[in-house]
A and B are shown apart, each in its own frame.
Chain A
């Protein structure tokens, strides 16, 4: 027991020894933040921003929600690259490790099973609603995708191991479907109108909905697979 106390005392001492540096660093960070804060306060708040520009072009964007218009029409290129960032995270995770095998083979309780049965369809419905709603209110591909991802995670934690049941090739198709449709649509626009992602007149609303739906599916799968924590067993040949 005495040794334990001694060790604890030593750690406390060690902490105390570093406190001076920590305090100095804390002061430094505080000064920096104070400086940035002061500058932030002095910036005059009369800039126009882009709100008026967005509002004036809203009608041409094909959707009613300004945020969706910015995300998928005015700055769609950013969103395309962002979807790629998500995919990249999955590739990175898969390159690092295999999905851990859960060693809990116990029966799942009927209550949890009931909840899963009840919640999964509801979650899917909510996701579909969020994607649909994205055209005129807050919502869209990422929000819908997040809900779908939650459904996938719920299944995973309930020992319904779809990660192992679905072949890796199918998972990969699901992952790249969203980005691929996005790029495909962008390229089609390039052929028809001469600019990447410039939707032909009158089709913007439908094309945005198409992109959002497919991307929501891929994003949901991506998030669930990130939770899965590694590549499926059969992803690498042999």
Chain B
């Protein structure tokens, strides 16, 4: 009982953290990661839900199947979002990964 609740609340907190990051940060990669964290939170609550009727028999398989479906969907969307973010980066001047480009900019202004 208390374990289920603990997992559920953790899931909710993950959901909230993901949501906060998604809104606050403008970086595409962070947004994608944030959405993934949110998804993980929901899946955690679902898995915890499956254990509630533990006393009456076995574990509820329906939430398990739902989690599996959810994971597959989340993988697909993440892949698509990543490629889309790459395309956006190629066609505009948003840097996806803080790599060489930004530090070079700073060096140039410094010089």
Contact = CB atoms under 8 A, between A and B. Distances in A.
B6 to A, nearest CB: 11
B4 to A, nearest CB: 7
Given A52-B57, A55-B58, A69-B61, A1 B69 contact: no
B16 interface: yes
Given A4-B110, A25-B24, A93-B79, A55 B57 contact: yes
A189 interface: no
Interface stretch (A43-51, A101-109, A154-162, A194-202): A43-51
B15 interface: yes
9 contacts: A22-B24, A40-B9, A45-B4, A48-B53, A49-B62, A50-B61, A85-B76, A96-B84, A226-B79
B83 interface: yes
Interface in A1-43: 1, 3-4, 7, 22, 25-26, 29-30, 32-33, 36-37, 40-41
A63 B88 CA distance: 46
Taking residues whose C-beta sits less than 8 angstroms from the other chain, chain B's interface range is: 35 or more
A115 interface: no
Main secondary structure of the interface of A (DSSP, over half): helix
Contacts of A47: 52-53
Given A49-B60, A51-B53, A54-B61, A85 B87 contact: no
A152 interface: no
A79 interface: yes
Interface of B: 1, 4-5, 8-9, 12-13, 15-16, 19-20, 23-24, 45, 49, 52-53, 56-62, 64-65, 68-69, 71-73, 75-77, 79-80, 83-84, 86-87, 106-107, 109-110
B52 A49 contact: yes
Contacts of B45: 40
A73 to B, nearest CB: 11
Contact of B72 (A7, A75, A82, A96): A82
Contacts of B57: 51-52, 55
Given A70-B65, A71-B68, A229-B86, 6 more contacts: A7-B106, A25-B24, A47-B53, A70-B64, A89-B75, A226-B76
Given A48-B56, A86-B72, A88-B76, A54 B62 contact: yes
B1 to A, nearest CB: 7
B50 to A, nearest CB: 8
Interface residues of A, number: 47
Interface of A: 1, 3-4, 7, 22, 25-26, 29-30, 32-33, 36-37, 40-41, 45, 47-52, 54-55, 66-67, 69-71, 75, 78-79, 82, 85-86, 88-89, 92-93, 96-97, 142, 223, 226-227, 229-230
A210 B46 CA distance: 29
Nearest to A1: B110
B60 A29 contact: no
Which of B9, B49, B72: most chain A Cβ within 10 A? B72
A7 to B, nearest CB: 6
A82 B5 CA distance: 29
A48 B52 CA distance: 9
B80 A89 contact: yes
